[in-house]
Amino acid sequence: MSTKAGAVRVPLTGGRRERERERRRGEVLAAARELFARKGYQRSTMVEISAAAELALGTLYQLFPSKEAILCSLLEDYIDVLSARVRDAATEPGDARRQLQRIVATQLRFSQENADVLRFYLTGWTGYEFSVRQLFGDRIDTKYEQYLDLLAAVFRRGMREGTFVAAPPRRLAIALAGMIHALIRRWLREKRLNLLVEGEALVELAVYGAAHGARNGNGDRR
């Protein structure tokens, strides 16, 4: 079909159309992220997101069926980038103990860079109705399981090297992940907390334990 100027209108190819869709998707996520951080997830609406992204409301719904889907995508992107950084940290040279230190430091630095995402995750995502959580939560949980697998592999390596005590690697991974999350939650509440310094103490606890060694009832080392 020709335009009035006589030029031929070339339809978008599949690749160009997909790139355009991804560009718009990125703009929506950036706008929603800023809006959620400023106004709060619960008080933000799809109308406001479409206005912030400078998209028609109908176009927004073609990209994302709901506000929950937007939040899910933001959290998935967060976990994807975090996982990539953690994997990179895990491939650097050093023993398992050093590897674990780098992984924890990497996650905490990433948390500092993305505090806004963490805040609306904690205030929004965990407050969803069960049906919504069930609909979108499985994808995020699957990505989180991959993160736990990576931690478990580090503990397994440490056991082979004789650096860590023998214990179920996955349980150790879950325990460490739980401590990291608790530390991050505290940091979000206490601005003066030095997250990286606290993270170093956390790794020391995870690697060495709280005791110098097991003792018998008389107070002597076994």
Verify that 81 and 121 share a domain, yes or no. yes
Beta carbons of 64 and 28 less than 8 angstroms apart: yes
Verify that 171 and 116 share a domain, yes or no. yes
Verify that 73 and 53 share a domain, yes or no. no
Verify that 35 and 74 share a domain, yes or no. no
| Torsion sign over Cα 49, 53, 59, 62 | negative
Verify that 15 and 74 share a domain, yes or no. no
How many domains does the chain fold into?
A: 2
Verify that 75 and 58 share a domain, yes or no. no
DSSP, collapsed to helix, strand or coil, labels residue 78 as: helix
Instruction: Identify the domain containing residue 201 by its residue range.
Output: 66-222
Look at residue 1 and tell me if it is in a domain: no
CATH number of the domain within which 145 lies: 1.10.357.10
pLDDT in tens, the chain (222 residues): 444 444 444 455 558 888 888 899 999 999 999 999 888 888 899 999 999 999 999 999 999 999 888 988 888 888 889 889 988 998 888 888 899 999 999 999 999 999 988 887 766 555 555 555 665 667 777 888 888 999 999 999 999 988 888 889 999 999 999 999 899 989 988 878 899 999 988 888 877 775 544 444 444 434
Q: What is the pLDDT of residue 174?
A: 92
Look at residue 3 and tell me if it is in a domain: no
Verify that 133 and 41 share a domain, yes or no. no
- Domain end: 65, 85, 105, which one? 65
Distances (CA, A) of 83 to 23, 36, 79, 117, 148: 23, 23, 6, 15, 10
Q: Which residue has the tokens 């030029």?
A: 7
Q: What is the pLDDT of residue 218?
A: 45
CATH number of the domain within which 38 lies: 1.10.10.60
DSSP, collapsed to helix, strand or coil, labels residue 221 as: strand
C-alpha angle with apex 30: 49 to 149, nearest 5 degrees?
Answer: 120
Q: What is the pLDDT of residue 7?
A: 43
pTM of this prediction exceeds 0.85? no
Verify that 44 and 106 share a domain, yes or no. no
